[in-house]
Amino acid sequence: MSDFPSRYARLATFSTFDFDASGFDGSLKEQAILTSHAWPVANKAILTPITVRTLFLIRKFWWANGSAVAGNVDVGVYTMGGARLLSTGAIAQAGTSVIQSATPTAGPPWQLMPGSYYLALSASSASATFISTTSPAPREMQTSGFAEAVTANPLPDPITPATMVSNIIPLCGMSDAPVI
């Protein structure tokens, strides 16, 4: 059960490149070069495993657009078993080289308890670009806990995580702040 101390220790923001995002306390982080990359396949979702150590209130999801925008983006949180807890729904990607954000369809704020989850981003168009890294090979992402899903825009409920074939890690996250 939650208690007073955890509430005051909560984080303000969390991203796929935080230390509590799997793989980013070692070689993958060191290799990461963040620049604009096209989404590998239309409607694919990339699922980044994250560990939330304290109670987290989600008010916004955000992602980093690259040098070209197209189609719709959906960002959300899943249980490791594939149940969608929260997502933005399909949001038109807008604005090149900017951080774009959206409010979850439920809440906000939505309370995420400590535990392990997937932070998922999907894009409907292969012409969409995101600030991301393509440095790690799929096998490195596999061993760091990443997964992907096809035909996943908007993000489905539930989702079936599949073995990594692509090797893109988008910069995206969630925030307790009302403004990104």
Partner 1 sequence: MAVTVGGSGSQTCVIGTEHTLLDVNTAGTYSLGLDAVNFANGDYFEVRIKKILKTGGTLRVTYFMSYQDAQSVEDYGKVSVPISNALTDAASLRFTLKQTKGTGRVVDWEVLKFA
Q: Which residues in this chain contact partner 1 in the complex, by CB under 8 A? A: 1-3, 79-85, 111, 113, 115, 157-158
| Of residues 143, 170, 124, 146, the one with CA closest to residue 50 | 146
Q: Do 123 and 140 touch, CB atoms closer than 8 A?
A: no
Nearer to partner 1 by Cβ, of 26 and 115: the residue is 115
Query: Strand pairing partners for 13?
Result: 175
Q: Which one, 29 or 84, has the nearer CB to partner 1?
A: 84
Minimum CB separation from partner 1 for residue 22, in Å? 17
Tokens 């990443």 -> residue: 146
Q: How far apart are CA 130 and CA 150, in angstroms?
A: 18
CB-based contacts of 5: which residues, under 8 Å, 6+ apart?
none
Residue with the two structure tokens 């306390």: 25
Minimum CB distance to partner 1, residue 61 (Å): 18
For residue 70, give Cα distances in angstroms to 74, 111, 129.
13, 31, 8
Q: Least Å distance between CB 94 and partner 1?
A: 31
Distance in Å, CB of 3 to partner 1, minimum: 7
CB of 128 vs partner 1, minimal distance in Å? 28
Q: Which is nearer to partner 1, 32 or 120 (CB)?
A: 120
Q: Which is nearer to partner 1, 25 or 157 (CB)?
A: 157
Please give the distance of CA 103 from its chain centroid, rounded to a whole number: 14
Alpha-carbon distance 114 to 52, whole Å? Answer: 5
Pick the closer one to partner 1 by CB: 158 or 178: 158
